[in-house]
Amino acid sequence: MNHYRLFVCVICTVWCSLILLGCSNSVHAEAEDHFANLYVDYQPGFKTFVSATWNSMFSDVQNLEPKQPIPLIKMSSAALDSEQQDVAYRVGHSTVLMKLGQQWILTDPMFSRRASPFQWVGPKRFSDLPIQIAQLPRIDVVIISHNHYDHLDKASILALAPKVGRFLVPQRVGDILIQWGVDANQVQAMKWWDETDIGPTHFVFTPTQHFSGRSLADQNETLWGSWVILAPSHHVFFSGDSGYFAGFKQIGDRFGPFDLAFMEDGQYSKDWPLIHMFPEQMIQATQDLKAKVVMPIHNSTFRLANHPWNEPLEQAWVVSQQKGVTMVAPEFGQRYVIGQSLDQQAWWEDNR
């Protein structure tokens, strides 16, 4: 490994660790002006950081990245403008575009090439986007789960802002958007269990088991969470990032059943088992939520953990069939009509 490649690997690994681990700061530090999880006291520590760095630089895991471009279907402005049904499109990572009734809703918009504060270094997309921001329709609501770089991307937010009605964000994340230049009237910050109506759709910000931070200096200064979306036509859940925890059953008991759940499935590791879900845990969480259909997200876009790129979907598909859970995994850009079946292709197997 030459010196340049070693330098790039170190930089990439540091930012991956910041995204996933929060480095050596306690994820649950009980301190003034800091947020904490509900059920567990998880502290990564220096050992975890060293392990993650070593695995990223010298991993012997095969297929960490796809050998060919990820399959995708190009989306068109004309098709979106004429859409009459409740639909969902995976755009990439945790970015989902959905239409519920007459409202367009976008989750964790990440359209940049790299999940990093710098576009010259850091985790890079496996493939192109199925649509660019300029081609999107006017977005009624953008929901944000937390402030990590793979979920809150400055360039994407600023490009989207002129066509967004409202940004729904966790507590104190709104300050970040306003500092970037988003109009304060467009931003609504919420605490866990806060509820709001935008048009005919009811939104609830619900807990997850995760953490926040965009540097070593701001760990857990902003809140993180998931979203319950109760439209007149369909009820949807968006998980954001979370480890498996009892909160999923609480949310399911209170707001379920859901017609569709977008659930984190990817970037997991034995080094951080409490803040990201393994596939079998994701399927269990889907059952806890009383979701009729699950669409796994947070996979097949960036390399942020030491597992084969297609393992999350491959394992989730097997477990979902074993457990009798209906799973849909459309290609990026593929139209999925909520409440209908999908002619499912195991597209992630074509890239081994």
pLDDT tens-digit series, residues 274-303: 999 999 999 999 999 999 999 999 999 999
Q: Does 71 map to a domain?
A: no
Q: Decide the pairing of beta strands 139-143 and 103-107.
A: parallel
Q: Does 33 map to a domain?
A: no
| Domain assignment of residue 278, given as a range | 85-351
Nearest of 84, 117, 15, 107 to residue 56 by alpha carbon: 15
Instruction: Give residue 5's pLDDT.
Output: 44
As given in the structure block, the two tokens for residue 265 are 């499935």
pLDDT, mean of residues 53-69: 80
Query: Is the bond preceding residue 257 a cis peptide, omega within 30 degrees?
Result: yes
- For 130-158, give the DSSP string: SS-GGGS--EEEEE----STTT--HHHHH
Find where tokens 């990026």 sit: 332
pLDDT in tens, 85-96: 999 999 999 999
Name the average pLDDT for the chain.
89
Number of domains in the chain: 1
Q: Does 144 map to a domain?
A: yes
Instruction: Give residue 1's pLDDT.
Output: 43
Instruction: Give residue 313's pLDDT.
Output: 98
Q: Does 222 map to a domain?
A: yes
- Specify burial of residue 162 (Cβ count, 10 A radius: 0-12, 13-18, 19+): exposed
pLDDT of 104 over the 80 cut = yes
Q: Are 154 and 160 in contact (CB under 8 A)?
A: no
As given in the structure block, the two tokens for residue 55 are 């695995």
Q: Does 2 map to a domain?
A: no
Instruction: Give residue 119's pLDDT.
Output: 82
Of 17-26, 49-58, 302-311, the range with the lowest mean pLDDT is 17-26
Q: What CATH number is associated with residue 301?
A: 3.60.15.10
Query: Is the bond preceding residue 137 a cis peptide, omega within 30 degrees?
Result: no
CA distances from 292 to 143, 195, 231 (A): 22, 23, 16
Where would I find the H helices in the chain? 3-20, 45-58, 77-81, 154-160, 173-180, 247-255, 279-289, 311-323
Find where tokens 């399911």 sit: 252
More confident residue, 50 or 266: 266
Instruction: Give residue 6's pLDDT.
Output: 41
**84 CB-near residues (< 8 Å, 6+ apart):** none
Q: Which residues pair with 142 in a beta bridge?
A: 106, 167
pLDDT of 40 over the 80 cut = yes
Instruction: Please count the residues of the chain.
Output: 352
Q: What angle do CA 190, 194, 197 make, to 5 degrees?
A: 95
pLDDT, mean of residues 158-164: 98
Q: Does 29 map to a domain?
A: no
pLDDT of 54 over the 80 cut = no
Q: Does 37 map to a domain?
A: no
pLDDT of 207 over the 80 cut = yes
Find where tokens 């297929």 sit: 63
Q: Are 297 and 265 in contact (CB under 8 A)?
A: yes
Q: Report d(CA 135, CA 76) in Å as an integer.
A: 7
Sheet holding 187-190, edge to edge: 187-190, 164-170, 139-143, 103-107, 95-100, 87-92, 336-337
pLDDT of 4 over the 50 cut = no
| Displacement of CA 187 from its chain's centroid (Å) | 20
Instruction: Give residue 3's pLDDT.
Output: 38
Q: Does 23 map to a domain?
A: no
pLDDT of 41 over the 90 cut = no
3-state helix, strand, coil in the chain (%, to 5): 30, 20, 50
Instruction: Give residue 53's pLDDT.
Output: 67
pLDDT of 321 over the 90 cut = yes
Compute φ and ψ for 183, nearest 5 degrees: -60, 130
